[in-house]
Structure 1
Amino acid sequence: MRPYVLAETNWKQIRDEDFSVAVLPWGATEAHNYHLPYATDNILAEEAATKAAEKAWGQQAKVVVLPTIPFGVNTGQMDVKLCMNLNPSTQYAVLKDVAQVLQMHNIDKLVILNAHGGNNFKQMIRELSLEYPNLFTCSVNWWQVTDAKPYFDEPGDHAGELETAAVMHLRPELVLPLEEAGDGSAKTFKISALKEGWASAQRKWTSVTKDTGVGDPKAATAEKGEVFFEKTTDLIADFFVELHGADLEDMYH
């Protein structure tokens, strides 16, 4: 039993525990090239949250990992079979309900640990701060915790080397042989501003990529995934420890 994982613990343990930080892993259920499972983002979010919480718990930080939200924003992938979509407005409704529970039980710090590129919680956090002003809410994008370039030949954007290596490390039994993967080649916008990134728009996924991947996974290894995973969870654990000890009335200098 891991006392920092809510789903694995029990009322006998929980009723006397004084948690300071709740962690909400948030992923998605979507195609990841031919070789990775639909649950890739859920695996990454949950495993990163749990490993970081374990490391933080070892430093006396009272962190609790909530069950993973398995659906994310996939509005650009509705024509990819069984890519499950949760609209941002629905996400916010879920987030509000989670916040209500935390407030009832005197947990005033929430970290959304996100592993899906289509999820964006910035504006939701702004709105949540008005409804629950005593709850400090923040989000962490797992794949952005540290620069991936020193760890991978070509990290990729979706089901590329980074994600493939991480799942090869965490759940190798769910990864098909890499010779079965597509090459992850992808088209970009023709309009300059959209291509350069200072204008933004949703991509229609099936017009961008044939295999649903963006980034070549062929150089991925479980060893690369393990090194990157350990580095990111070290950094996230340090954040949890700092947040555990933070005084919400004295957050700035």
Structure 2
Amino acid sequence: MAKAKELINMTRDQVKIAIEEYPVAILPLGATEQHGHHLPLGVDIYLAEGISRRICEETGALLLPAVPFGYSWVWRDIPGTVSLQQHHVEAVIKDVAHSVNRYGVKTLILVNGHDANNAAMKYATRELMDELDMNVIYLFYPDIHKVMAEHCDSQTWSGMIHACEFETSLMLAVKPELVDMSKAVKEYPDRPALYGSSTISLGDLSKSGVFGDATLASVEKGEKLLESFVGKMVDLVNLAVNEPPKK
């Protein structure tokens, strides 16, 4: 398997050649926010970047530097959190798209590791469709609930993933040196009746920052999850490149 072409480590001449050979770039989107006491604040960055790197290795796409900040309003009072306003996340995505399109990228793939970025990806992509002659697709753990049912043993908290068995297993596969399983816990906070219909946020609900059962995580589960998601994303990238959506 070929090594990923990482733009940040390349010269201008190497980038030019790479795009001429395969005009596809991947932009990992993450966030800097708490993930319990057992995981680092960069979980969403590491996972988006790790998955993107594997996709690039299999497809030959150019790997762009990961965006380290997202919309993290719910954790804004916890030390270490850096949150962008949602419209700023959209603006960053659009600016990156306009930048890489100027020198020949024909397909931009957004690979997201942070659920709250999904809305920004969706609306930025819609606007870009009317602004650029470039195909932009956005990906976030395809068929996530089906894949979790196959490889995870715990239930989600209200269908959400955060610092749980799922994310902890993925981190054990991608960045095991940053995981402290001795601090992993199980927590399923009570869900207030007005949650989702008011300003009650995740930061108000969990004592540990975990939503689910992180104690059941394993590197074996993480590798199986990675294999499944990377395979599905590679198929979607190939589909987007070979059969771009009609405008």
Query: Which range, TM-score by smaller chain?
Result: 0.7 to 0.9
| 1:241 to partner: Cα distance | 2.0
Does residue 114 of the first structure (1) align with residue 115 of the second (2)?
A: no
Cα distance in 2 between the residues matched to 1:204 and 1:143: 26
The Cα of 1:210 is off from its aligned counterpart by 0.6
Change (3 A) 1:247 1:166: closer
Query: Per the alignment, do residues 234 and 28 of structure 1 end up closer, same or farther by CA in structure 2, a change over 3 Å counting?
Result: same
Counterpart amino acid of residue 39 in structure 1: G
Gap change, CA 1:219 and 1:143, over 3 Å in 2: farther
Q: Given residue 187 of structure 2, which amino acid in structure 1 is its aligned partner?
A: G
Deviation at 1:53, TM superposition (A): 1.5
Q: For residue 37 of structure 2, what is the aligned residue in structure 1?
A: 34
Q: CA, structure 1 residues 165+82, in 2 after alignment: closer, same or farther (shift >3 Å)? A: same
Over residues 94-114 of structure 1, what are the superposed CA-to-partner deviations in whole Å (9 max), with x where a residue is unaligned? 122112112211222211100
Amino acid at match of 1:161: E
Match of 1:187 in 2: 190
* Count of aligned pairs: 237
Mapped pair 1:216 → 2:219? no
**Cα pair 1:155 1:161 within 8 Å, conserved:** no
The partner residue of 1:67 within 65, 68, 72 is 65
Which structure is higher in helix share? 2
What amino acid maps onto 1:139 in structure 2? Y
Q: Tell me the distance in 1 between the aligned counterparts of 2:51 and 2:199.
A: 27
- Report the equivalent of 1:25: 28
Which of these residues, 238, 241, 246, is aligned with residue 235 of structure 2?
Answer: 238
RMSD: 2.1
Confirm or deny: 8 A CA contact 1:28 1:41 kept in the other structure: yes
Residue segments in structure 2 that go unaligned for 5+ positions in a row: none
Unmatched 5+ residue regions in structure 1?
58-62
Distance 1:44 1:144 in 2: 17
Per-residue deviation at 1:5?
A: 2.1
Where does residue 202 of structure 2 map in the other structure? 205
- Runs of 4 or more consecutive aligned structure 1 residues displaced over 4 Å after TM superposition: 143-146, 199-203
Does the Cα contact within 8 Å between 1:165 and 1:222 map onto a contact in 2?
Answer: yes
Alignment of 1:1-253 (within 5 A): 2=3, 4-17=5-18, 18=20, 19-57=22-60, 63-120=61-118, 121-132=121-132, 134-142=133-141, 144-145=143-144, 147-154=147-154, 156=156, 157-177=161-181, 179-191=182-194, 203-247=200-244, 249=246
Separation of aligned partners in 2, 1:3 and 1:226: 19
Q: Distance in 1 between matches of 2:8 and 2:231?
A: 23
Deviations 1:195-230, CA, capped at 9 Å, x for gaps: xxxx65564223211111111111111011011111
> Is the partner of 1:118 in helix, strand or coil?
helix
Structure 1 pair 50–174 and aligned structure 2 pair: CA distance change class (3 A): same
Distance, in Å, in 2 between the alignment partners of 1:4 and 1:208 is 41
Secondary structure, counterpart of 1:23 in structure 2: strand
TM-score, structure 2 length as denominator? Answer: 0.87
TM-score by length of 1: 0.85
